[in-house]
Structure 1
């Protein structure tokens, strides 16, 4: 591979909009293991939130994908591959980036939503406790008007 070709491939990988229109690979070998990447990403994204039991699996997949991205990029940087191999590696890196983007979008937003939901539930429980403790809620009616107007 020529030096300018190698630089073009590396520039393409690092381009900000490189993943726009890119497809997640159907299958990819990551750390020596074949993964049905596209179906994995769509399976996880289909859910509104990542279940607690799946979080570690998703985080491990993201770590492995990042490692694989680095290894493939380094193979291009080393220049020991043909242009065709470099092209295939660049496409794979862009596909990995696309998958990582999809998986990253799930993380903080869902965790923030879960935290907000938990905080809201905690506040409701606290307010209910305070109403009962202060005698402002009739335990049977649930109207919050016990003892008023009697």
Structure 2
């Protein structure tokens, strides 16, 4: 795969709204274990709140999904892959993101923690918008403030 193709695929998994319209995969292998991901997520989401006995299971599942997402992203970044293999990885990563989003929507029971998480997400989106609007999209360019006056 060409480097520009790799960058396009990586950008796709980080895109805001990448999971819109994407279905949760039926099955996925996470940490070497086959999981019926879609049925697990739907089973948990069907309830209004996560019962105490299930909270640890859900927390562990989210942790494993995040770890699997990171490993697949690293394969995409570092691996010698064909473009088709890269596409498959991207689809799997976006499917994992969709499942994580669904599980995260169950949210913490603590309203204060939920409000903080929402505020943090809002700030992140705002900063991303500002960076793009000001032409500082590249990570190399930073905010532009640090380089002013230094030569």
TM-score range, shorter chain: 0.7 to 0.9
CA contact (8 A) 1:23 1:98 kept: yes
Offset of residue 82 of structure 1? 1.1
After superposition, residues 57-136 of structure 1 pair within 5 angstroms as 57-108=57-108, 111-112=109-110
Task: State the secondary structure of the residue aligned to 2:26.
Answer: coil
Give CA-to-partner distance per residue, 1:35-85, whole Å, 9 cap, x none: 000000000000011000000000000000000000000000014111111
CA contact (8 A) 1:6 1:79 kept: no
Q: What is the TM-score of this pair, normalised by structure 1?
A: 0.72
Offset of residue 112 of structure 1? 3.0
Which residues of structure 1 form unaligned runs of 5+? 114-150
The whole-number CA distance in structure 2 between the counterparts of 1:32 and 1:79 is: 19
Q: What is the TM-score of this pair, normalised by structure 2?
A: 0.72
Give CA-to-partner distance per residue, 1:101-126, whole Å, 9 cap, x none: 00001022xx137xxxxxxxxxxxxx
Alignment length (residue pairs): 111
The whole-number CA distance in structure 2 between the counterparts of 1:23 and 1:80 is: 28
Larger Rg: 1
